[in-house]
Amino acid sequence: MPSAKCDRAIARVKKIGVGPLGHYIGGVPESGAGPVFDNVEPATGRLLGQVSDATADEVDEAVDAARKAFPAWKAMAGTERRAILHRVADLIVARADEIAAIECLDTGQPWRYMSKAAIRGAENFRFFADRAPGAADGRSLPSANHLNYTTRQPIGPVAVITPWNTPFMLSTWKIAPALAAGCTVVHKPAEWSPYSARLLVEIACEAGLPPGVLNSMNGLGESTGRRLTEHPDIKAVAFVGESRTGSAIISQGAATLKRVHLELGGKNPIIVFDDADFEQALDAAVFMIYSLNGQRCTSSSRVLVQRSIHDEFVRRLVERVRRLKVGNPFDPATDVGPLIHAKHLAKVAGYVEVARSDGATVAAGGTKIEGDGFYFHPTLIVGAEQSMRIAREEIFGPVLTVIAFDDENDAIHKANDIDYGLAAYLWTRDLGRGLRVANAVDAGMVWVNSENVRHLPTPFGGMKASGIGRDGGDWSFEFLMETKNVALAYGTHRVPRIGV
Ligand code: NAD
C-alpha cells in the first residue's frame, strides 16, 4: 500500500459508509431520506456502504440552493473566484493520496493511475481558476453607425452528471470550468463510485466556496439523474457517460429547453502503418487499452494494423498482454485492477463469447479470474472483421480487438465505418500520410505518433455517437455562458420614422 494516508482514506470511507451516504446541499451534509442502494468494493465484492437515492424534494432542495447562490457567485469578481478555486486546488494536492486511495477502493482503478488522476484534478481547478477573470470577455465588432461589443454571462445553475471510470478527475473537469464561469452546480456522481464526489464538495467548502455554489446529490440515474435533467431551474446539463444515456438526457431536457453538453462512448482506433516506429506503437497500443482497466472513453480498443506487419505485431501484443500484472489496485506495481462491478464484468465477459461466435480468435485472456472481486484477464482478440460486434461496440474493459488493413484507404474506411468518433491514434513515419489520415478520420481528437496526452487549452470531445460539444480552453465557457451583444449608437444614423 503506497502510504499511511491510504489507511486514513479507507477508515474515512468506512465511516461515510456507516450510515447511507446522503447528499451535500447548501454547504451542509444531509443524511438522505430516500431509498438506499448498495455500493460494493470491486477488489473483494464486499459491501462498502449504502447510498441514498435522492427524493424529489431533495433534488428540489439542491437546485434551490444552487439557484439562490447563483446571483452572488455570478456577481463576484473573477479574481476572487480565481483565488477560491486555487485554494480548492491546494487542498486537493494536500489530500491527493487520500483521494487516490478512495478511488482505488471505490472503483478498483490501480494506484499508479489514480495518484496521477488526483493531481490532474487539481490542475483542472488551477487551469480554469486562472481563466475566471477573463471568462466574461468578448469582442468588439464596430459597424458604420454602432459600436457592437459582446460579453458573456454565466448561464445559471447547471447539473453535472458523471460516470464511474475516473470519477474524481472527470468531476473536476466539468465542475471547475462551471465554477470559474460563475455558474452554480448540482453534481450527481455515478451510483457505482460515489465517495470521491463527497470529498470534492467538502474540500470546496473548506476552501471557501460559498454555501450552495456546489451541491452534491447521490442517487440512481433513472431517478435522481432524470429529475435533475428535467428540473426547470437547471439551465444546462454537462454529462459524461454512455451514448444511450446521452440520448435520454436530450429527451428529458427537451421540455425545459436544456442546453446539453455530452461526452459519450468511443471505439477508438489506433492505426499502425508498416512504416511506424514499431516499438513505440506497440507500447501505445498496450497502454491505451489496458491502463485504467480499459474503462476509459479514449481507450484504443481497436488496433488496425497494416497486413504486412500484422502477424509480428500480434505476436508481440500477445507477449505483452500475458505479462500485464493484474492485482490489488493498491499495489503500485498493478497494471490492471478489478472491473467496477459484477454486472460490468458479466458484460465484458459476454463480449468474449460474442467474439468467438462471430468467428474471431481469443489470443490471450478471455476469462474471469476466479476468487473474490471482479477481476478479468486482459484479453486480446485477433482475426476480427469490421462487421463483427467486437469491432464496432464499446466494451469498456481490458479487451483489445485487432483488425488487419491493406492500405491507407482501407485503414480510413475501417476507422470511420462505426457509429463512434471520439479519438483516433495514428502511427506512421510518413508526415504526409499522417496529415492525410488525420484529416480523413471522423474523430474529435487525433493523436499522431502519440498516446492520449491531454493539453488543457485544446478541445476535448467527440463526433457522431461520441458526443455533442467540446470541453477545454474557452470551449468550456462557450457552453457554460450566454453570449450577449450590446450595440451602442454613435448618433450618426437615422431612426426610421413611421406613424408620423
Ligand atoms: P452511464 O451513462 O450509465 O452513467 C453516467 C451517469 O449518468 C451516472 O451518474 C448515471 O447515474 C447517470 N444516468 C444514467 N441514466 C440517467 C438518466 N436517464 N438521466 C440522467 N442521468 C442518468 O455511464 P457509465 O456506465 O457510468 O460510464 C461509462 C460510459 O461513460 C462509457 O460509455 C464511456 O465511454 C463514457 N465516458 C465518456 C467520456 C468522454 O469524455 N467522452 C469519459 C468517460 C466516460
- CATH classification of the domain holding 352: 3.40.309.10
Confidence of residue 9 (pLDDT cuts 50, 70, 90): low
Considering the domain architecture, whether residues 422 and 306 belong to the same structural domain is answered as: yes
- CATH classification of the domain holding 69: 3.40.605.10
| 385's grid cell | 472483421
Identify whether 104 is a catalytic site residue: no
- Say if CB 427 and CB 438 are below 8 A apart: no
Q: What is the pLDDT of residue 18?
A: 58
Considering the domain architecture, whether residues 200 and 278 belong to the same structural domain is answered as: no
DSSP state of 414: H
Three-state secondary structure call for residue 485: strand
Report which of 415, 202, 212, 225 is spatially closest to residue 303, judged by C-alpha positions.
Answer: 415
The closest-lying atom of ligand 1 relative to the alpha carbon of residue 265 is 34
Tell me the average pLDDT across 175-189. 98
The closest-lying atom of ligand 1 relative to the alpha carbon of residue 237 is 20
In a domain, 131, yes or no: yes
- Say if CB 225 and CB 201 are below 8 A apart: no
Identify whether 30 is a catalytic site residue: no
Considering the domain architecture, whether residues 88 and 227 belong to the same structural domain is answered as: yes
For residue 298, give every residue at least 6 positions away whose Cβ sits within 8 Å of its Cβ, in sequence order, or none: 266, 268, 288, 422, 423, 445, 452
Q: What is the pLDDT of residue 19?
A: 73
Considering the domain architecture, whether residues 403 and 423 belong to the same structural domain is answered as: yes
Task: Output the residue whose Cα is nearest ligand 1's atom 40.
Answer: 263
pLDDT per residue as tens digits for the range 274-323? 999 999 999 999 999 999 999 999 999 999 999 999 999 999 999 999 99
Which of 39, 165, 262 has most ligand 1 atoms within 8 Å of its beta carbon, as the pocket-test mutant? 165
**Ligand 1 geometric centre to CA of 163 (Å):** 4
Overall pTM > 0.85 = yes
pLDDT per residue as tens digits for the range 241-254? 999 999 999 999 99
Q: Does the pLDDT value for residue 430 go beyond 60? A: yes
Show the 3-state SS of 195-209. HHHHHHHHHHHHCCC
Q: Which residue do the cell numbers 493484474 mark? A: 326
Considering the domain architecture, whether residues 216 and 342 belong to the same structural domain is answered as: no
Considering the domain architecture, whether residues 98 and 124 belong to the same structural domain is answered as: yes
Considering the domain architecture, whether residues 383 and 286 belong to the same structural domain is answered as: yes
**Ligand 1 geometric centre to CA of 260 (Å):** 14
Residue tagged active-site, from 263, 319, 385, 408: 263
User: What is the C-alpha separation between 448 and 425, in angstroms, rounded?
Assistant: 6
Considering the domain architecture, whether residues 169 and 276 belong to the same structural domain is answered as: no
Which of 186, 229, 242 has most ligand 1 atoms within 8 Å of its beta carbon, as the pocket-test mutant? 242
| 326's grid cell | 493484474
427: containing domain: 269-448
Helices (H) and strands (E) in the chain, counts: 15, 21
Q: What is the pLDDT of residue 370?
A: 95
